[in-house]
Amino acid sequence: MKKKLWFALSGIALLGLGFFFLNLEPYRPLKVISSSASCRMAVDVVEPITGSPQGYAILFHGVAANRRIMSYIAQDLANQSFRVFVPDSPGHGKTPGPFSPVHASDCGEALVRELIERHAIVPERTILVGHSMGGAIAIRASNHVPVAGVIAISPAPMRTAKLLSREMVFFPDDPPFAKNTLIITGSSEPEQLRAISQAKVKEAVDGTSSYTEIPHATHVSLIFDSGVLAEIRKWNHKLLGTDLDVIRATHYPLYGYLCGLIGVILVSVPFVSDILGGARKELRDDAQPINTTRILGQILVASTIAVVALKLWIPLKILGLFQGDYLASFALIEGLLLLAMNSQQLKKSLGFTWSALVAATVGAFLLVLVFGLWFEFSFYEALLTTPKWVRLSPLLICFFPWLLSEELFLGAHATTSRVRRAILTLAFRSIAWAIIIAALFFLHTGQVLMMLLVLYFVLVSLLQRLAMDVVRRETHSPLAAALFGAILSAGFALAIFPLA
């Protein structure tokens, strides 16, 4: 009880600190919906800090992101006296689907045209800014709608290369740069991606485009890097004469998000434990872990069979989840194969009580809501919309066999330490991920998000394993732990993958 109390008190304190940091630099945009001509996109409008705009900026996010994640750059542009428009691309955030990169590009261009027609922006004083896929959208839109300039932060490649097959490139064409295009990349990004951007700048014939690298930055860290803000300020000053010495956006919102996230995690431990504490009853869990070498071999075989099968047909395409349908199909096929390979162990682990399953279900759904609320408030639109809630049940069914096989591999909670369980979980999933990436390069299945989101998967895997271990310990039920984990996996997938 003392440990639970300390977890809860520490979590509440960190949540309070998170709220404090988030309110030091308020990000309170006006929320509007664009017209049907521009795909009814949800758009944040951030007014300039001076009240009177000296310029205008339209800020496009990347794939598997949304407008909230761009708030650091948006706030700094507003501090430079820009009126900033930040849309959710189709299938992302609060904008309805369907998503495809080309459709997102068309909608982004349509939004620029709509804002010009409504006199919300002056094209001669407008900068298009984008990150990753959003950078490519900004480049593409500037080819059809004349604006003052473009700032593309680590733009998604629009041409093939040695390690970039056609399936890995989002767009069917590679338009030239419009004048006054700045490309910003991170020095820690893959060399080939940086080389493509440098080559594109050299191909620009008017001499107005430029390329710069931010030291030690990665693809994702660029959107939180103060060096990026400095380059944006210099470019805007060069093109529009905006002031370089104005209030800078701070990382306080990011610190607030991180503090609150840790706080939510700490509060969740006693919360989940208490919900599940009464569900143990007479169940015994003395299942022994399966030999690690045998497990690794089975995962290698099952993963290979799964990716070969998915080359021919993705059964869950009907889910309409951009590249998430591939992950769900992979998990379902591999999970069923692994359960079949370990049918004897499965029979021994089918015991359960309804109270354990109900408690695990309630606890998992509450965690999805709690984490979604914190992300929505602080950093990233993660609350599930109605179309995503509709997909949650079939998605958790797909993840359940894989997670149940993982519970069989690890054995009872008392038989293996938490650290070893976490390490083994990462090892199992790393093999599956490696096979998916191998299929990307050799079978050309084109599931590039599996590679781009690897850090997210690692972090979620660790947190999920810790939470599932609590469920296994309290309920003594592998089925309850797998059900709990499947709901968390489905919630994560629906928050990350756009609606197709």
Q: Hey, what are 488's tokens?
A: 């968390």
Q: At 181, is the secondary structure helix, strand, or coil?
A: strand
What is the 8-class DSSP label of residue 161? B
Q: At 316, is the secondary structure helix, strand, or coil?
A: helix
- The reported pLDDT for the residue numbered 282 is 60
- The reported pLDDT for the residue numbered 319 is 92
Burial of residue 51, with CB atoms counted within 10 A of its CB: 0-12 exposed, 13-18 middle, 19 or more buried: exposed
- The reported pLDDT for the residue numbered 283 is 65
- 59 confidence band (pLDDT: 50, 70, 90): very high
Length of the chain: 500
pTM, two decimals, is: 0.92
- Which tens digits make up the pLDDT trace of 92-136? 999 998 999 999 999 999 999 999 999 999 999 999 999 999 999
Residue 444 has pLDDT above 90, yes or no: no
- The reported pLDDT for the residue numbered 279 is 60
Mean predicted lDDT score pLDDT of the chain:
91
- Which tens digits make up the pLDDT trace of 262-311? 999 999 888 888 787 666 556 677 678 888 899 999 999 999 999 999 99
- Which tens digits make up the pLDDT trace of 61-91? 999 999 999 999 999 999 999 999 999 999 9
- The reported pLDDT for the residue numbered 493 is 94
**Top-confidence residue, 297 or 351:** 297
List b or e across 345-377, with b for residues whose CB sees 16 or more CB atoms inside 10 angstroms: bbeebebbbebbbebbbebbeebbeebbebbeb
- Which tens digits make up the pLDDT trace of 389-405? 999 999 999 999 999 99
- The reported pLDDT for the residue numbered 246 is 86
Mean predicted confidence (pLDDT) in 31-36: 95
- The reported pLDDT for the residue numbered 281 is 57
Question: How close are the terminal C-alpha atoms of the chain, in Å?
Answer: 46
Residue 423 has pLDDT above 60, yes or no: yes
Q: What kind and span of H or E run contains 468?
A: helix 454-475
- The reported pLDDT for the residue numbered 452 is 84
Identity of residue 350: L
Residue 201's nearest CA partner among 238, 152, 165 is 152
CA distance 477 to 492: 23
Sketch out the chain's domains with CATH numbers: 26-249 (3.40.50.1820), 278-496 (no CATH)
Cis peptide before 98 (omega within 30 of 0): yes
